[in-house]
Structures are given as C-alpha cells and as structure tokens.
Amino acid sequence: MSGKREVNFVVEGERPGALAWSLLAIGAIALGVVADGFATASTDNEQLVRQSERLQRRAKTVAVAERRSAGAQKSAVATRRDPAPFPWDSVLTEVELVADRSVALLSMSTDAAARRTRLTAEARNIADALAFAGRLRESPLVGDALLVSHEARKEGPVAVIAFTLQIAWRSE
C-alpha cells in the first residue's frame, strides 16, 4: 500500500438547513424566557429578604417594649400591694372571744381594703347589745365599734333586739 491518503474532516458544501436554524431560534427564545423568569424570581427574593429583615427588626423592638412593659407592670403591682394583709384569723378569733351567750351572731361582711366589718346580731335586750359593742371597743384590734341600727323583734314567745355594728379594725 503505497498510496497516499488524504484525511479531510471539514465537509465542504453542506450548509445548515432550515431545521437547524429553527432549532437555534427555539433555543434562543427558551433562553430568553428562562432568563426573564430568573430575573423576576431574583427580584421577588430580594423583596422578601428585605421584608423579612424589617419584620425581624420590628419583632426585636416589640420584644424590648414588652420586656419594659412587663417590668413596669411588675413594679406597679409591687407598689400597689397592701403592705399589711387583712388579719382574718385574728379578727374572727377576736369576735368569737368577745361574743357570749347573750349575743347571737347572724352575719358578718368585711371590706378588707377599708378594714371595716358590718356585723349583724341579736341580743336578749339592748344592754346586752351595748355590752357586746363595749367589749369589742376594748379589744386591741378594734379601732371603733359603732351601733349603727337596732330593732326590737318578737320571735315567737321571745322578744329580741336585732342590731348592726360597724367595726373599724386597726392596722397591725
């Protein structure tokens, strides 16, 4: 084999056909559509990032304001607290000690903030009612015990005096 062979990789004479040009045009259009979608998505992403940062700053501001408000509320509650709570046990014990068989206690309503009690009772006569009020006044817990009202009643064969006392308690 002595002959010389020529290798030519370039094919001359063949030009791209209409199919090749139409595929190139379709690819260019697809590239444009995808690039436009990417640009829109990128813009939306930037807006969402800015909005997220704004919301995070607001959340921090709100959290700081809530902490300040909670601290202010705690201090306000601490200053409003009654320094001496109402001594319920002492008051009830004192009323029981002062009452005797001549007085029947019917009801007792207390305004702890004003340290006042309205006591309704019955006695056999007015002297027993006044003696009960006097014993209450002598108590170290009582500031004053006033007979607010009284009324003579007949409960069957027994006559009684229904009366109401207003008691002011001392601060301990």
pLDDT at 114: 84
- Let me know if residue 3 belongs to a domain: no
Q: Is the residue at 1 inside a domain?
A: no
Cβ proximity of 152 and 171 under 8 Å: no
Report pLDDT for 39. Answer: 94
The answer to whether 139 touches 132, Cβ cutoff 8 Å, is: no
DSSP letters spanning 111-131: ETTTTEEEEEEEESSHHHHHH
Residue 165 near residue 157, CB atoms below 8 Å: no
Let me know how long the chain is: 172
48 and 99 share one domain: no
CA distances from 143 to 88, 97, 115, 166 (A): 16, 17, 10, 11
Q: Measure CA 125 to chain center.
A: 53
Best CA proximity match to 152, nearest among 161, 143, 164 = 161
- Give the domain range for residue 149: 88-169
The domain boundary residue, chosen from 28, 63, 81:
81
For residue 156, tell me if it sits in a domain: yes
pLDDT at residue 76, as a whole number: 64
On whether both 108 and 161 belong to a single domain, the answer is: yes
Output the pLDDT for position 65: 82
53 in the same domain as 97? no
Is 143 a domain residue? yes
Q: Verify that 97 and 65 share a domain, yes or no.
A: no
Read off the CATH number of the domain in which 108 is found: 3.30.1360.100
Q: Are 162 and 150 in contact (CB under 8 A)?
A: yes
End position of a domain, from candidates 81, 97, 117: 81
Q: Are residues 48 and 102 in the same domain?
A: no
116 domain residue, yes or no: yes
- Residue 102 is encoded by which pair of tokens? 């001549």
What is the number of domains present in the chain?
Answer: 2
Are 72 and 94 members of one domain?
A: no
Do 55 and 16 share a structural domain? Answer: yes
Same domain? 60 vs 99: no
Model confidence, pTM: 0.51
Q: Do residues 124 and 54 share a domain?
A: no
pLDDT for the residue 83: 53
So what's the pLDDT on residue 23? 93
Reading the chain (172 residues) residue by residue, the pLDDT tens digits are 567 888 877 767 677 789 989 999 999 999 999 999 999 999 999 999 999 898 888 888 888 888 888 877 776 666 565 556 777 888 888 888 888 888 988 999 988 888 899 999 999 999 999 999 999 999 888 888 889 999 998 878 888 999 999 998 887 6
Specify the pLDDT at position 171.
Answer: 76
Residue 2 domain flag: no
